[in-house]
A and B are shown apart, each in its own frame.
Chain A
Amino acid sequence: MARYFTDEHEWIDVDGDTATVGITDYAQGQLGDIVFVELPSAGTSLSKGGDAAVVESVKAASDVYAPIDGEVTEGNAALEDDPALVNTAPEGDGWFFKMTIGDASQLDGLMDEAAYKSFCDSL
């Protein structure tokens, strides 16, 4: 399973023809305490770079973008009851949604873990 990162601080795990999307540990650290996550419903068409979800911290609302084209297959129901999972397990149980992979070539433009780490270090 390969994991990719965007410069908007989303991560995407690719497993066959589906992918799981969340926000990175760096992103949750910048946002602070997460109190609400608005997820796309199953069947929503996403386009790379377009709005996919909204994450609300105590302070402000922030958009989460789709890392690639595709269709939402499932939102993470656990975030409804416990949005703080995004803080405690951002790159694990705090995932946002699963989606189909509309165009696998779009993955080529994303960063791998090492590239993302040096990207964050440069911020």
Chain B
Amino acid sequence: MLSEDIEIEEPETGTLPLDAWHRDKGARMVEFAGYWMPIQYEGIVAEHEWTRSNAGLFDVSHMGQLLLSGPDLDAAVEAVLPIDLSTLKLGQQRYSLLLDEDGGVLDDLMVSRWPECLYLVVNGATKWDDIGHLREYLPDEITLNHLDEQALLALQGPKAADALARHATGEYPLSALTFMKFGRFTIAGHEVTIARAGYTGEDGFEISLPGHATEEIADVLCREPEVKPIGLGARDSLRLEAGLPLYGHDLSPETSPIEAGLVFGINKRRRSPVEQGGGGYPGATRINREIVEGTLRKWVGLKVEGRMPAREGAEVFAGGEQVGVVTSGGFSPTLGAPIAMAYVASAHAATGTALEIEVRSKRLAATVVPTPFVPHRYYRGK
């Protein structure tokens, strides 16, 4: 039999607990990260604006939820992630990075300290590779549970707290959670974990809940006047306005987190030399050098003149010289103008630098601007 005759079976696209619910609500479904996901309901701009002024319910159940436990857990995890677990207390969540030996980004993720274990939320498209990587790097004594029976909903927007507080009951009120804190609550009789975090730049929550309870809880939340379901399309335009990187686009094994401005993801103690208790994670040599010496290129925000959007892959020029490439770009509904994120040579990365972006043989004028494009409104307490 010739090799051409062998049929390679395409992996089947998975369905998530809310699949029928989304279709029932009129969502347009697309394949994303191996699952059918809602791209939009009534329209990206309307959903985007609704989230910025009310509250949007996002289904992010494609993301991976992992639980790590076992002896000397903190030391084992610190050998894989550049996180300082000595400063991560029970009830806290922190952004971290999965890095390869060269300091390239394999994924970005959230780490929370649960009682006796660490809970990780990783990207949907990378979760199987992440599990393989963690299994390879962690000692056998560390147990890795993939919580694939759990769903994940994000409720985002200035009215998210009001709407959720009517349903989330726990030992303390929902308002006790500030940005990057989490706790155990009950919604409609189901035990859930709620973290005050998200990916839109707005105040909001990520709710980990049992898969079988997802429809019931989504219904309970969407009955609130402030809440509408929102698709992946608006999730992307919201996160772009918030200046947040998207794995596979703005971050990849070809990029270092320092180039991406994610130095906060390398916790302070891990930045010092090994003899002073620092380093000790994959890629530490390069990353610690880049923290001191800087990088050749930087990830910057660009405001684009006119109305024509510049998208991923568009080349960035300073005069005749190509100095960078766009990694995320589109039209900002909030600003009514095109915006983009790009890696550009550090010499051209200062705020206010005039650059050009080439789109279909045309040069669009662009200016380096600070990010986020739209201010974050995280709730950090009164």
Binding site for B on A (CB under 8 A): 32-33, 35-36, 38, 54, 56-61, 80, 83
Contact = CB atoms under 8 A, between A and B. Distances in A.
Contacts of A61: 309, 311
Nearest to B362: A38
Contacts of A32: 40, 43-45, 233
A93 to B, nearest CB: 18
Interface in B30-64: 39-40, 43-46, 48
Contacts of B39: 59
Contact of A35 (B46, B233, B307, B360): B307
Contact of B333 (A54, A58, A80, A83): A58
Interface string B227-265: 000000100110000000000000000000000000000
A82 B44 CA distance: 17
A61 B236 CA distance: 15
A6 to B, nearest CB: 22
A58 B44 contact: yes
B309 A35 contact: yes
A54 B309 contact: no
Interface residues of B, number: 19
B308 A59 contact: no
Interface of B: 39-40, 43-46, 48, 233, 236-237, 307-309, 311, 330-331, 333, 338, 360
A56 B48 CA distance: 17
Contact of A54 (B43, B338, B360): B360
B311 A58 contact: no
B360 A38 contact: yes
Given A32-B43, A33-B44, A35-B331, A59 B233 contact: yes
Given A56-B309, A59-B44, A60-B311, 9 more contacts: A32-B233, A33-B46, A36-B307, A36-B309, A56-B308, A57-B44, A58-B45, A59-B233, A83-B307
Query: Considering the complex of A and B, which 10 residue pairs feature the smallest CB-CB distances, nearest first?
Result: A35-B331, A33-B45, A58-B44, A36-B307, A36-B308, A58-B331, A56-B309, A59-B233, A32-B44, A33-B44
A34 to B, nearest CB: 10
A72 to B, nearest CB: 17
B45 A59 contact: no
Nearest to A80: B307
Contacts of A36: 307-309, 331, 338
A58 B330 contact: yes
Nearest to B236: A59
19 contacts: A32-B44, A33-B43, A35-B307, A35-B338, A36-B307, A36-B309, A36-B338, A38-B308, A54-B360, A57-B44, A58-B44, A58-B45, A58-B233, A58-B331, A58-B333, A59-B44, A59-B233, A59-B330, A61-B311
A23 to B, nearest CB: 17
Nearest to A81: B307
B22 to A, nearest CB: 16
Contacts of B43: 32-33
Contacts of B338: 35-36
Contacts of B40: 32
Contacts of B237: 58
A54 to B, nearest CB: 7
Contacts of B236: 59
A35 B333 CA distance: 9
B374 to A, nearest CB: 15
A89 B137 CA distance: 57
B339 to A, nearest CB: 12
Nearest to A61: B311
A33 B233 CA distance: 11
Contacts of B233: 32, 58-59
Nearest to A63: B360
Contacts of A33: 43-46, 333
A67 B61 CA distance: 43
Contacts of A56: 308-309, 331
Contacts of B309: 35-36, 56, 61
B309 to A, nearest CB: 5
Of A54, A58, A60, chain B has the most CB atoms within 10 Å of the CB of: A58
Contacts of B331: 35-36, 56, 58
A33 B28 CA distance: 14
